[in-house]
Structure 1
Amino acid sequence: MLSAAPPANTLEPIPVLDTGPGFAMETLVAHEARAHALLDLATGPLPSAALRQLDKVSRRWLAKWENAHLAEIDAIAARLRRPGAYFLSVNYEWACTCRVAPDPSRKSARLVRVLDWRTPGLGRHVIAARVESGNGGFVTLTWPGYTGVLTGMAPGRFSAALNQAPMRKAIGFYVLDWAVSRRRVWTMPHPTPAHLLRAVFETAADFTEARERLTRAPISTPAIFSLAGLRASETVVIERTETEARVHVGPNVAANHWEAPGWRGRSRGERSAERAAMMHRIIPEIVPDFSWLAPPILNPTTRVVMVADAAEGRLVAQGFEAMRPATEPLELAA
């Protein structure tokens, strides 16, 4: 007997892929159609000539400072055979809201992560890569061909996420401030924050080492890292400029404005302070029910939601588009 066809609005699961260290290329090979769909959405408004020029500038920057992932990005660009691969590997324009706190029983530490990004489709096309590494591996919520890490959990070690930091007010007009910040990046011989977080997931043995490296390693642009270890006491938010850090120990929230006294800049996304205040009240339960997700944390650019507990080796996640679920909830356990 034939089963009835599923309704047109049926949600698809988030794909889970076991990979080696070269997860960016492996995810691309496995899900290349998703990569092209995302590039169509991300680069559609840009003329091809402008995108090719952005690729040239991005590759020159990677080569100038001997970026460790240049060969990998070259291979990805060659496989895609279209402009955009270099620019999207080094550029990020997103807002996010995170919380690090003990679990409700205070036996472990948890990370609550809501990632916002302007490009539609990132929620629908998110994948979970389970990456092998010398320290036991990690899971990253990512996209085919993306070489950085924005959100992840390393079972038995830590969970971490990256938020975009405020933009410096160099001149006072948004467009000019953005241009000045991009020009500043050209002079920075350091990895992107997403590449630093990838390196930490690949090689840091534990929460202590991850915290040390995310605090001290130079980066190309300001960023905010949220880090949760194994014990309830192992929670920290690290606000970063290229070479300085302000570390907020204990249960904390990160949005897209500075909490550090004296640090100033343009907050990213909408209603950053309100998102942070609301996130303080979220109970970090690992259940595939994101009913707590509501405005302003939930907004038109929300793409991925995750709650992770590295001590238990468990996470739950879901993709979002247009303020509605775009995938089935994902539950992973080590």
Structure 2
Amino acid sequence: MTIDPRIAIIGGGPGGLMLARLLHLRGLAPVVFERDADADARPQGGSLDLHSDTGQHAMRAAGLEDAFRTHARPEDQGDRLYDADGTLLFDRDGAGDDRPEIDRSALRRILLESVPPGMVRWNSGVEAIRLGDAGHMVVSAAGAEAFDVVVGADGGWSQVRALLGDARPRYEGAVFVELGFDTRRHPQVDALVGAGKMFAVGDNRALIGQRNGNGHIRGYAGWRIDEADARALGAMPPEAMRAAALAEFEGWSPVLRDMIVSGDPLGVRPLYALPIGHRWASVAGVTLLGDAAHLMSPFAGEGVNLALADAVDLAAALTSGAGWPAVARYEAAMIARAVPAAQAAARGMAAVLSGAGAAPMLDHYRARLGG
């Protein structure tokens, strides 16, 4: 690498933007290639909880802690658990926890406003990446440009990862229909969710409600299903999605089923994950962060936290003056950090979608309380 390497970041999600911010603070001017037309081109998803030693640490390192605190919701850290009959088995308000929630859209806006105008190139889907002359990587979007370093922050189906190996995400055997609620129009869902998020689980099925900001709640109806059927579900019109979900939750409490009846269908989310411990032989000029490196199911709450922590460590490696060996060390540490998180995510999914009903989730919550 040169002293001031020319760096391309593929993907303008939280991890890519955090890396851009940190490099900007160090005097570099990376280019962020983002396929979206603008910041409001599509919904950004639900709420995220940032952990002290990873996500919050990154916000502090980026000088964005005050902005984060302004938009964070520490009051929304609670947990509730119901069984399929609607019996409340566990209820904790989460007061005193240090994992405050923030809407993904708010986090992205904070990060976007922290980098100079023009650093993010909107409507710039990358068509190809190849090795060029003199060891440079050539990125083709609206034209071809040479870079010293290309960082894949482009998610689970990363185009950049394909330069480092043939690993692809594997289907996790489950799908979730996403639902939207407004607390003013859906007071019954508001009451079910409580101060944070709720799970209702039983017989390899789950209903989830997650409190977001501005009076919104995200809901998810999930069950185990073959991949081909999950893809077919995603191609259905919204009311057909709703009908399919209702059929899966036949016999559940009417109060719980009403979440499916009354929610606005927003989409279908099949779950995929990379193999736990996914690694590659380091290749000078190309590296990964976040889901591109360690995609996992969402049931450990670690995805965005790992991506932000990856950005902190990668920015330090790229500006250390120690050349590519520093990036190779970053990759090894990043992979090692992701392994226990991915293992926890796999355990979490097994507990949420369990043939043993609510017992595994109840055990999980009790274990967190130390009893």
TM above 0.5:
no
Whose Rg is larger?
A: 2
Q: With the length of structure 2 as denominator, give the TM-score of the two structures.
A: 0.28
Q: With the length of structure 1 as denominator, give the TM-score of the two structures.
A: 0.30
Structure with the bigger percentage of helix: 2
